[in-house]
Structure 1
Amino acid sequence: MPERTIEFGKYGARGIKGHEAVARQLDALAGFIATPVSVRRGLVARLRYLTRSGHARTAAREAGLSVTDRTVKAWLDGKRSPSKRNLERIESAYRTVRRRNVAPYLVGRLNREGRGTRVEIHPLDQSHVLRPRQRVVEFRLLNIRQWDAIVRAWAEGDDRGLDDAWVEQIVDLGSQWGQYEYVSNVGFAA
């Protein structure tokens, strides 16, 4: 069984950790607000999302948005503008709350009642590696039937947990799973 890569990129290979590519794809499926938080329209959309109900306000506070309702109202009315630090907190809280809200839906869609979802794993880029040091790594398809641990770790922002959950799934590739710890892209749809 292969070990984890210790010196990735030593010979010029390029790529990202597989779990980071999965997180990017899950973020794309979550459907975040496209307008940046620094633009008034994006700010208002995020604040409305975070304050539309008592549950949303509680989740926003738990996620780090610790301003008063009066301040939020002033931001929504355009009477005051949040500081750069508060804009970062708003964005962080929005993404955290959105991930938590969309996670159960994504688990259901990706598990597909036990049928799972086909995942395309695009190998790392070895174009800058000298020919004798290149490995034979090819495009692979994998059907993942249990997404619960992956989506849970993604929703909680647990990078280590997401890595462990991803590696647990790619072990199904057999003895070659270590070649796909770093990838150029991971693709799937829900």
Structure 2
Amino acid sequence: MPEKNIDFGRFGARGIKGSDAVARKLDELAGGIATPVTAKRGWMARLHYLTKSTQTLKAAQDAGLTVTHRTLKAWLEGKRRPSKTSLERIDQAYRTVRRHNVARHLLRRLNRDGRGTRVEIHPLNQSQVPQQLQRVVEYRTMNVRRWDRIVGSWAAGDHQGLDAAWQDTIVDLGSQWGQYEYVTNVGFAA
């Protein structure tokens, strides 16, 4: 059943890949700066986060923030404003560094000393699919005890690894697990 949805949405079904829904939820749990990067307060807060230590500055440079120290200093002093492209790089570097920094904490919270976390899987939306082509797909819950590969792939920005880890996890749903490759939402709390 996995990867059989090559032509997903052909008959009107709507949803997103389950691994993308998990990544969104992990991003939400990771939190961060709420002010948009386009506002001065937003990009200044991100720059302060990225430059608070030499380790975070190196991680930001590795994540794609490649500007001179002179430019960075001018931005931090408020003498210059980053270009639109630089703002995108600042935001991307911030998200990458933030994921790396909170991954260990999230992993500990989600694994809960082997007890795991309850996950709610909301099936795909079939309201636009003709009645005779609709599948019986229901809301499901499961307890995920091993989050290591999922959180590790998310923190590294490895979309294929996250997708593979999520598919290996939903196999625990039984013979119908392929019906949950695409979903409307995946919810869990940590």
Superposed pair shares fold, TM > 0.5: yes
In the alignment, does 2:41 pair up with 1:41?
yes
For 2:22, the equivalent position in structure 1 comes to 22
Runs of 4 or more above 3 Å deviation: none
Q: Following the alignment from structure 1 to structure 2, what is the Cα–Cα distance between the partners of residues 112 and 144?
A: 10
Residues 103-138 of structure 1: CA distance to partner in whole angstroms, max 9, x if unpaired? 000000000000000000000000000111000000
For 2:156, the equivalent position in structure 1 comes to 156
Q: Following the alignment from structure 2 to structure 1, what is the Cα–Cα distance between the partners of residues 25 and 2?
A: 26
The one-letter amino acid of 2:68's match is T
Q: How many residue pairs end up in the alignment? A: 189
- 1:69: how far off? 2.1
Q: Following the alignment from structure 2 to structure 1, what is the Cα–Cα distance between the partners of residues 40 and 11?
A: 46
For 1:95, the equivalent position in structure 2 comes to 95
In the alignment, does 2:2 pair up with 1:3?
yes
For 2:123, the equivalent position in structure 1 comes to 123
Where do residues 126-141 of structure 1 align in structure 2 (5 Å cutoff)? 126-141=126-141
For 2:184, the equivalent position in structure 1 comes to 184
For 1:52, the equivalent position in structure 2 comes to 52
User: TM-score by structure 2 length?
Assistant: 0.98
Structure 2: stretches of 5+ with no match in the other structure: none
Q: Following the alignment from structure 2 to structure 1, what is the Cα–Cα distance between the partners of residues 87 and 10?
A: 38
Q: Following the alignment from structure 2 to structure 1, what is the Cα–Cα distance between the partners of residues 69 and 98?
A: 20
User: TM-score by structure 1 length?
Assistant: 0.98
Query: Secondary structure at 1:175's aligned position in 2?
Result: coil
Q: CA RMSD in A?
A: 0.7
Structure 1: stretches of 5+ with no match in the other structure: none
